[in-house]
Amino acid sequence: MTDPQYQVVFRGRIVPDTSIEEVKANLAKLFKTDAARIERLFSGKAMVLKKGLSREDGERYCALLKQAGALCDVVPLSVINAPSPPPFPPMNSPENPEVLPESDHRPAVPKKDNEPTAAPILKQRVAAVEKSDNAVQAGDLHQTLGAIREKIQGIDAEEAGKKVSSLLGGATASLKSDFRQGGVATLKKNKVVWAGAGAALCVVVALVMMLGSTSKPMPIEKKAFDAFAMQYNREARKSDYTSAGTTVLIGLAKEVIEDMGFDFDRTLLLWLFKKDLVESKGGLPVYTTILVDPVAVAVAADLSSIGELLAPETRQIFKVSAEVPSGVNLSPIKMIKACPANGNLLKHDDLFRLLKEDPLPIDVSQPDLAIADAFLGLEQAGMIKIHRRWENEDRFSDIEILDRGTLNAVEEKLEYLAAMKKKFTGN
């Protein structure tokens, strides 16, 4: 019997003018499963729904899913190594008369007695090349690169290190033995050991290069984010992401950044902590519409699937960042807490003295306005109240602390973010 060579892959695409919630409901009914399992199909990654099919059976399977609103692809098994979703109940049921056979029931082709079976023949090699070429033309190159990247990242570095260490150890022992027995002449003749040691060194270098290739963030420079935006928009158009959810689009951004050779989490954090630099380099549209702001929204909304795309520390940093009121900085809070107080009231002169010691420049000719500007964010957040008063012809600004508990909590969050900024950006 000829082995089936195709699989059905779903990438989150749906039939145009169809509600994504309607498609999810249809798939849940079709597979007779719960919404949580169906949700995983829309993670933004390619998911294998059915393996081991003939081309014809794969097309029939896709047609059945298209009726439910899901657009799938029939892909050769040799092209893509996409993850499979949690197992679904079989679609073979009285409610689904258009069921697919679980196996290919075509009769086996009798084999000729003189037919070669050992090495692959030229036609098989040509067919393999044609499959690869068709895969590239069908737009599967991006998925293939992703699969290669996942395999590289899945290498157990510790286990590889042990094997390399063992190989080097054996080579060293053999070289020492040769030197004791025959001196330098024998040592030079031990070509096998030298070759093994060289191979081990090559493995070490390759591992370092592969495992470290995605450890750096995408730099904040126009050339980099222009290339990212171009690739992202190309992939979005190719896969029709017009009705995709937030986490699906974040997943696409992650794939593009990692295929460019950068680390997704470190890129997010670098851009989050250096928004001013991003803006000055012209990258704010990417920041707000594709990269940082969508992640902040997803984390703040506590979307269930966002945790699969971010490292726990990255998610925590975004969560804390979302809890800090806009316009509130650490320096004004430090000055408020360092200022002598009469109950909850802070006097103008004490505040202005601390303000002049702060490294940020102020207009000393208008102290009341300098105080108002410096502490405006805290007032807008409802933690303090700025009281303005006149004495003769001079205007003063005093501050009343309204919520010390919130002030302390926000200070802790800002100190945490400052520590994380130093960790990921170095300043």
Q: What pLDDT does 162 receive? A: 53
* Under-50 pLDDT residues of the chain: 1, 90, 92-123, 125-126, 129, 132-158, 160, 187, 204-214
Q: What is the DSSP letter of 262?
A: -
Residue 222: Cβ-neighbour burial (10 angstroms; 0-12, 13-18, 19+): exposed
Q: Taking the model in full, what pTM does it have? A: 0.51
Segments making up each domain of the chain, as ranges: 6-104+127-147, 155-212, 222-323, 330-403
Q: What is the pLDDT of residues 105-142, one digit of tens each?
A: 333 334 444 444 434 444 454 455 455 444 434 434 44
Whether 280 and 287 have beta carbons less than 8 Å apart is answered as no
Q: What is the pLDDT of residues 287-342, one digit of tens each?
A: 998 999 999 988 888 887 888 899 999 999 999 999 999 889 999 999 999 999 88
184, 367, 413 from 333: Cα distances, Å: 72, 18, 12
Residue among 412, 344, 352 nearest 384 (CA): 344
CATH architecture of 330-403: Orthogonal Bundle (1.10)
Compute the residue count for the chain. 427
Q: What is the DSSP letter of 341?
A: E
158, 190, 264 from 202: Cα distances, Å: 16, 19, 28
Q: What's the CA gap between 385 and 399, in Å, rounded?
A: 6
